[in-house]
Amino acid sequence: MMYQRNGVTDFFKTNGCHLRRALILPCLMIFTALLNVHAQPPRPKGIIEDHTHYSEVFKENRHFRLILPPDYHQHPERRYPVIYYFHGNAGRFNGPAEGEVSRSGEARYYDDFNGNWARTGPDSLDNFTSYVADNDVIIAKWDGYVPAQYPRPYDIAPVREDKQFVDYFPEFVQYMDAHFRTKASRNARAVSGLSMGGFMSMLVASKYPHLLSSASFFCPSASFTVGPRALQIYTPFKEMGRNFVGLPIRMHLGSKDFLRQHDVEIDNAYKTLELNYESWHYGIGYFKGFHNAVNIQGQFDFHMKYFRMPLVRPEKWHHIDVYPNFSVWNHAVSTDRAIPGFTVLDDVRREGFSLQTKKWLPDGPMVPNLSVKIITDSIYPSNTRFELVRLDVPTRKIARSNVRSDIKGRIQWQGTGQHSDIGLYKTGDPGHITMPTYTLDQNMPGVGDIVSLSPLLFNKGGAAVDSIRVELIAQDEEVEVMDPAVTIGKLAQAALHEKTAFRIRSRHAGLDRAKLKLIVSYNGKKDPFLLEVPFYSPEKTLSNFKIADGLAVKLEVEEKTVVGEGNGDGIANPGEWISIFTPSELDSLHDFGLQLHTGDPYVAMDNRRMLFFERKDWSGAKRLTSQVQIKPDCPDGHEISFYGIYEYPKNGDTRRDNHGAHSFIRETKRVSFTVKVKR
């Protein structure tokens, strides 16, 4: 010991340092720490295993990769929760295709892809194998490969082979639970994904909230065309947030992500809903804010939290589905729908439910001539007689009938796609108040207009309610509610109330939909109902536009395309189907279609159509373009006042990645204009 100490002292003196003795001990501690670091065994990492199984859904073998805890095979008594992870564009279950540097932006977090650190990165915050080393969880990565679409996965946008990955997900879960040591329950499952995989995570989670404890999305694509091949439809998740009631969700957004503008819309929309939702925005100091799956640890810790503390099934839930037949929270819904559209279930609970259909979201007309059958969950006493009261919302007509629950405690209802509100009760049940819809005293209010909003209240419970307090609360700071809460007197069983009105006003011309919450209080309980009120506030008058009545227009992706039905002379004639197109200030080479609104009696708005054209920004989003019919009896020279919305891309100047892709900024114009009809 003395020799070693003197040797060290002599070393410093020999080199002219002449340090004080007080510095020698810290130096020794540093040397000792370095020696200990090199002496320690390497940090354990997760086990990577690739597997194949036969899928009855796809009628073929499918690949998947598992990342297992390091001691998975040493403890056969242990069971683990599972995070199902969905890769993005150009990815596979085992990483990007060989030779690709990072086409999909996913290489940074992959699971030690072929041991290549340059492609996976040493950052434990962004690496699967490092994460499972510190957490008792399995990560399961399915393979979105579809031969006809690759490098685009999941057979979406457009659907070509009819490979429905949402149908495959329950089968994959069942296989995992049967062949690996998983905790086979809703409380121990989560989904996550990047980009197109983030969209798939939203789609799977929105369709199967009853199978999952949480869901997360890394820089997700916000919308795509999905569904059965013959019924595929543009599906914007900004409009489907209420599917996640009862399911915690989290989203990561990069400040320079090329999808950011679409994801910010989702972020803003979801914050106004009654959701367990959180978002994490990362800037240029974190992977330069680009499109990627960063902070795996933060995202997956979110899932681990809800594995430990899962939420109970929600008392009230909502659901929108693109498939004609589906099951959610053990409610089975079947229809004979033969055209694209959406089935919308709202305010579903023991006391009943609301049902409607839409040709598109958010404001499409109903799907006509549709038969719908709903079989509820087993939430009722078996073999018991119930009163069923049905409100036909558009006509305000009320019908009554008797139904009986089956031996499993389920109740069956058959109806149409028209908006209906259904109440179910036994003799002696209390009253139950719902809000099926609302009315405005102006069809197309604009900024500054004072509008009277009258909620429709419906008592679909088993008894009268003596007193109801109703309060309207603005969810947007640009919206003003000008009236206080109101107390309504007795509302009889199966009765309606539509006489109470609240004055509201928009303070900002850029507000397209005001988000509000109606609080209905009675019998010692409070029930919230969310409303969206459209406002129509043009920023300018549009003068440069063309009328497509069978006319060729030049689009971004489809290029020269004939749109509309008529003689193609660019003049609106009675009986023609027309769309409106305009160039933008930034792009005069292409035509941009408008979403149209009007209160003119000579336009058949209830029968309008929506066209979905591609955007040249790789986002999956579409350009929505209305097509409306001028009624055949429209007089010559009649002028129709339209309100229109159109969107166009504004190129950003920030490089997204090494391949030269650029960010895009979503721009929206709100305009008014007049179309003169000629015979």
Percent of the chain whose pLDDT exceeds 70: 87
- Phi/psi region, residue 388 (left: phi>0; alpha: psi -120 to 50; beta: rest), is beta
- Give the model's confidence band at 91: pLDDT under 50 very low, under 70 low, under 90 confident, else very high: confident
pLDDT > 70? residue 96? no
CA torsion through residues 161, 165, 167, 171, sign: positive
pTM flag (> 0.95): no
pLDDT > 70? residue 210? yes
Percent of the chain whose pLDDT exceeds 90: 76
Q: What's residue 650's pLDDT?
A: 59
The letter for the amino acid at 406 is D
Average pLDDT over residues 354-375: 97
Of the candidates 446, 391, 386, the residue with the CA atom closest to the CA atom of residue 415: 391
Q: What's residue 663's pLDDT?
A: 53
Q: What's residue 266's pLDDT?
A: 97
- Give the model's confidence band at 95: pLDDT under 50 very low, under 70 low, under 90 confident, else very high: confident
Q: What's residue 657's pLDDT?
A: 45
pLDDT > 60? residue 69? yes
- Give the model's confidence band at 33: pLDDT under 50 very low, under 70 low, under 90 confident, else very high: very low
Q: Where are the domains of the chain?
A: 2-39, 47-308, 315-427, 436-537, 540-676
Specify which residues 49 forms β-bridges with.
Answer: 66
- Here the tokens at position 233 are 């439809």
Specify the range with the lowest mean pLDDT, choosing from 13-17, 77-81, 354-358: 13-17
| pLDDT tens track for 447-477 | 999 999 999 999 999 999 999 999 999 998 9
Q: What is the mean pLDDT of the chain?
A: 89
pLDDT > 50? residue 16? no
pLDDT > 60? residue 106? no
Length of the chain: 679
Average pLDDT over residues 583-598: 91
Fold entry, domain 47-308: Rossmann fold (3.40.50)
What 3 state SS string does 233-258 have?
EEEEHHHCHHHHCCCCEEEEEECCCC
pLDDT > 80? residue 34? no
Average pLDDT over residues 72-98: 88
CATH superfamily of 436-537: Immunoglobulins (2.60.40.10)
| pLDDT tens track for 394-409 | 999 999 999 999 999 9
Helix spans in 100-195 (H): 117-120, 128-134, 165-179
How far apart are alpha carbons 194 and 591 in whole angstroms? 32
pLDDT > 60? residue 215? yes
| pLDDT tens track for 635-669 | 999 999 999 999 876 555 445 444 334 455 567 89
- Give the model's confidence band at 118: pLDDT under 50 very low, under 70 low, under 90 confident, else very high: low
| pLDDT tens track for 307-330 | 999 999 999 999 999 999 999 999
